[in-house]
Structure 1
Amino acid sequence: MAAAAPWMKFYPQDWRADEKLRMCSLAARGLWMEMLAIMHRSERYGQLLIGGRVPTDAQLAVQAGALPDEVSALVRELEDAGVFSRTASGAIYSRRMTRDHRKAENARKNGKKGGNPSLGNKTGKSASDNLQDKGGVKAQKPEARGQIEANASPRASGGDFSLVEFSADLCRDVGVPLPDHGTAERNRQTVEAWIKAGANQQLIRETVTARRATLRTVPRSLAFFDNPVREAIAVKQTASTSPEAAAALRMAEGILRKRDAA
């Protein structure tokens, strides 16, 4: 990767509008800022890597100038609030940073090809190329809305961008081939159906990651994981009414997290 720029985009309005982050303590928000700075210089932009490796809490504590136990507690606080996500290898990453980086890379590649790739070899200009500026300033999209977790109900109009993005990230993280447009829409519909059935993004990610680890073949789409996810939803719903099931679910989730972090 090319050397990181000495600066990165930061939108105070987005920072203040992120409801998940606002639920965290001042210390946790301060650690998150330190983590963002490390992710900006990471070998994989937006992922918390030091020297190409996932740092331990003790190593992160050295970087942040804090005690390991304190950092462990603060990372757990951020994760419980849903501030960040993890890759299949356990690396923490900022959804906003990775999304913005992909957009910038696509724009850079398109620029090398002469601009908008949809124009192809057209010699004339379409009407959309000559649109006049109607004035006014568009409101900035807050981080909280841009990073909506799938715990919330998907928009009824369909095509929810957050679900498209989540399903694409999930495919990338678990090694499912990035799909064409048709398969991408089916993946979004699959995720949407899971959410309507009672899942959230964390349950989906953990279940799919665990099932993928047992496979030798590469699934062609997320629909392959429909049965395991629905079984996990059923366990979760049972756990909500049974203390014994809830304890078993927490134990299973702990095992999954430890294995993913290994």
Structure 2
Amino acid sequence: MTEPWSKFFWSDWEADHGLRLCSLAAQGLWMRMLCVCARHDPKGYLAINGHPLTVTDIARLAGVAETEAEILMEELGRNGVFSRNRTGVIYSRRMVKDEKRSKEGRKWKNLGLSQATENKGEKSAPARGATSGPSPHILEARSLEEKEICAAEASPSGKAAKSDLAEAWERFRRAYPRRDGSQDWPKAREIFDRAVKAGVDPKAIIGGAERYAADCRRRGDEGGKFVKQARSWLNGRLWEEYAGASAGGSSSAWAPAGIDWRGLVRNFRSSGNWPSSIGPGPDQSGCRAPPEILAEFGLTAGGETRGNA
């Protein structure tokens, strides 16, 4: 059963540049969508009773026409407000991340209670002043962030020399696309270090930054205001959305994960419609759809038709 309440960080809402680029109507729809995401189990996914919501469902819940809901959804997607998993289900990155941290916190609490129970069964108490390890009270008092870092540092995969971490950070900073405006690099560095200490492979982050930069160049956004702040990009774990082939691979390498390319291409083949939120369509150069899927329907990037599908 999901909790009847959730934390809401007002400063994060205000600091989400992608969301602020959206119209007030789109922002209001996103809040309605968050209400649904908060009640789903697992928390954070736009679904009811395990069934992902369609545009028609969202329109009914919001009390707007389906065409209006579709336009607002495209606006939210274009500005990177939400993400999709590998099956195409929309989810809130922040809500999913908070739920994961909450579960980790419960695990540590249960560990502390288990140790407390074991300590009660001991016949002899340790000598005063002796320290045989952290007490359950200390474990419970630690913040979740400290627990994650301590666990990571205790594992072999989390042990990295400071020099290696500094070198990885510099590689990330060089790979990240330029933007019009300031960059809070110190805060971004804190988030980067925390992610690596928690067990994230720095190569995955750097590779994601390279693909994001390539994507920005393809759209003509590099050096402009639509490039995300590095701290927001890292805090949202957006490298996971750019996981896949290297930046020098096919044109589909930079597309976010979880897109039903086959369904989109099939719809394009029959109706000519293509959502602008995922970039150029098959009739334009730079289409991100995998070439093998385009070929299934007799298409190639750039609009050339190979034959009847």
Calculate the TM-score normalised by the size of structure 1.
0.57
What amino acid does structure 2 have at the position aligned with 1:71? A
Change in 2 beyond 3 A, CA 1:54/1:252: same
What amino acid does structure 2 have at the position aligned with 1:231? G
Per-residue deviation, 1:7 = 1.6
What amino acid does structure 1 have at the position aligned with 2:248? R
Change in 2 beyond 3 A, CA 1:244/1:34: closer
Who is 1:123 aligned against? Answer: 132
1:230 aligns with 2:248: yes
Tell me which of 244, 248, 254 is aligned to 2:285.
248
Tell me which of 78, 85, 88 is aligned to 1:87.
85
- CA–CA distance in structure 1, aligned partners of residues 193 and 70 of structure 2: 30
CA RMSD of aligned residues (A): 4.2
- CA–CA distance in structure 2, aligned partners of residues 31 and 152 of structure 1: 31
Q: Is the 8 A contact 1:163 1:191 kept in 2?
A: no
Who is 1:34 aligned against? Answer: 32
Q: Deviation per CA, 1:167-202, whole angstroms, max 9, x where unpaired?
A: x9xxxxxxxxxxx94x72332333244445x24688
Per-residue deviation, 1:6 = 1.6
Per-residue deviation, 1:58 = 0.4
Per-residue deviation, 1:164 = 8.4
- CA–CA distance in structure 2, aligned partners of residues 26 and 10 of structure 1: 19
What amino acid does structure 1 have at the position aligned with 2:12? D
Per-residue deviation, 1:246 = 8.6
Q: Which has the larger radius of gyration?
A: 2
What amino acid does structure 2 have at the position aligned with 1:189? I
How high is the sequence identity, in percent, across the aligned residues?
A: 30
Q: Is the 8 A contact 1:163 1:188 kept in 2?
A: no
1:23 aligns with 2:21: yes
For these two proteins, the number of residue pairs brought into alignment is 188
Change in 2 beyond 3 A, CA 1:47/1:245: closer
Per-residue deviation, 1:17 = 2.3
1:66 aligns with 2:64: yes
Who is 2:110 aligned against? Answer: 112
What amino acid does structure 1 have at the position aligned with 2:207? T
Change in 2 beyond 3 A, CA 1:245/1:78: closer
- CA–CA distance in structure 2, aligned partners of residues 92 and 35 of structure 1: 9
Tell me which of 69, 76, 79 is aligned to 1:78.
76
Query: Structure 1 stretch 66-75 or stretch 156-165: which is displaced more?
Result: 156-165
* Unaligned residue ranges in structure 2 (runs of 5+): 120-130, 139-175, 217-232, 255-279, 295-309
Q: Deviation per CA, 1:16-65, whole angstroms, max 9, x where unpaired?
A: 22221111111101100000000001122111112212211001111222
Who is 1:57 aligned against? Answer: 55
Who is 1:10 aligned against? Answer: 8
Comparing both chains, which one has the higher relative contact order based on Cα–Cα distances under 8 Å and sequence gaps of 6 or more? 1
* Unaligned residue ranges in structure 1 (runs of 5+): 130-149, 169-179, 209-224, 237-242, 257-262
- CA–CA distance in structure 1, aligned partners of residues 71 and 26 of structure 2: 9
Who is 1:188 aligned against? Answer: 205
Change in 2 beyond 3 A, CA 1:251/1:124: closer
- CA–CA distance in structure 1, aligned partners of residues 281 and 47 of structure 2: 38
Per-residue deviation, 1:160 = 6.8
- CA–CA distance in structure 2, aligned partners of residues 156 and 12 of structure 1: 22
Change in 2 beyond 3 A, CA 1:190/1:15: closer
- CA–CA distance in structure 2, aligned partners of residues 6 and 80 of structure 1: 31
